[in-house]
Amino acid sequence: MNFEQYKFLKAKALELAEQEGSPTINPQQLNPILLAYIGDAVFSLYVRMRLLPLSSHVRVLHDLGARMVSAVMQAKAMDAIVDSLNPEESVIVRRGRNAKSSVPKSATVREYRQGTAFEALIGWLFLTEQEMRLEELLERSFLIIRAETEKK
């Protein structure tokens, strides 16, 4: 995308945001990268809220939180929960894993794809308002990641 396209899309997004009411979102039709975008925010907030009572030092919380929400850790969580997913959730995970995106140097291609799949699932559960299932998977994932973090 060139800069002119970016400016145009940004202006359109801001224009839509200024309109009253919120547009209807169909999570089934969203690009899996957009589901992952929302899932990243949901999981990051969940982790931050769980870590908040542990320290009054922002740097400590930030460092631990950043490590816990990394693609590497999300991939470990995804690997641990994948067998407990229902068929609909498995479709979302497959779409997230197969989504095209660039891979940072901090993770392998597999870890990054699994992390994206995890975030897409979390985003989809959030947008489809499946609160109980979302809470269940967030809690399981947090405990898995916490155990992995304590190993190192």
Residues with a catalytic annotation lie at 40
Phi, psi (rounded to 5 degrees) for 118: -60, -50
Instruction: Quote helix, strand, coil % in the chain, to nearest 5.
Output: 80, 0, 20
Question: Do 115 and 107 form a contact (C-beta atoms < 8 A)?
Answer: yes
Listed residue (14, 139, 9, 125) closest to 77, CA to CA? 139
Angstrom distance (rounded) from CA 144 to CA 133: 16
Angstrom distance (rounded) from CA 97 to CA 115: 8
